Amino acid sequence: MALDHVGIATEDAVGLAERFGAVFETQIAHSETFDGMYIIFLDMNGTYLELLEPVDDSDGPIATFLAQRDAGIHHIAIMTEDIATALENARAVGIECIDETPRQGAWGHQVAFLHPRSTGGVLCEFVQQ
C-alpha cells in the first residue's frame, strides 16, 4: 500500500489549484464533477492533492465538512491493489468501516472509507485504481 492522495475541502477548488500550482510547481492531472463535488487532482509526482469543492448548494459531505470545520484536510487515501482484502483486514483489527463494500469513487476508482473513530480522528480512504 502507498499514499494515493490527500483530500482537501475548499470553497474554491480552481483558486486553490492555481495557488498550489504556483507554489508547488504542480499541474492538474484530472478534474470532474462527481457526487455533489467539483474535484481537482493535482499531481505531486504520482501522489495527488485532491481539492474538493461542493457544487450547487449541495448538502453533501464536503458542504457539511466546510460548514462544521471550515476549509482544510478532509481525508487521506491509501492505494491498494485489493480493496476487498484491505477492508477485511481493517475489520479484523477492529477498524470501523463506513463502507462495508467498495463503491464507485472519483476518477472511476473503487473506494471505501474507514471511520475516524477507529483511525485516530483521521478519515481514511482505501482506493483501488
pLDDT in tens, the chain (129 residues): 999 999 999 999 999 999 999 999 999 999 999 988 999 999 999 999 999 999 977 688 999 999 999 999 999 999 999 999 999 999 999 999 999 999 999 999 999 999 999 999 999 999 999
Pinpoint the alpha helices (H) of 25-126. 61-69, 83-92
Whether pTM exceeds 0.85: yes
CA–CA gap between residue 57 and residue 92 (Å, rounded)? 39
For the domain spanning 2-128, the CATH number is: 3.10.180.10
C-alpha cell at 27: 499541474
Domain ranges in the chain are: 2-128
C-alpha cell at 96: 470501523
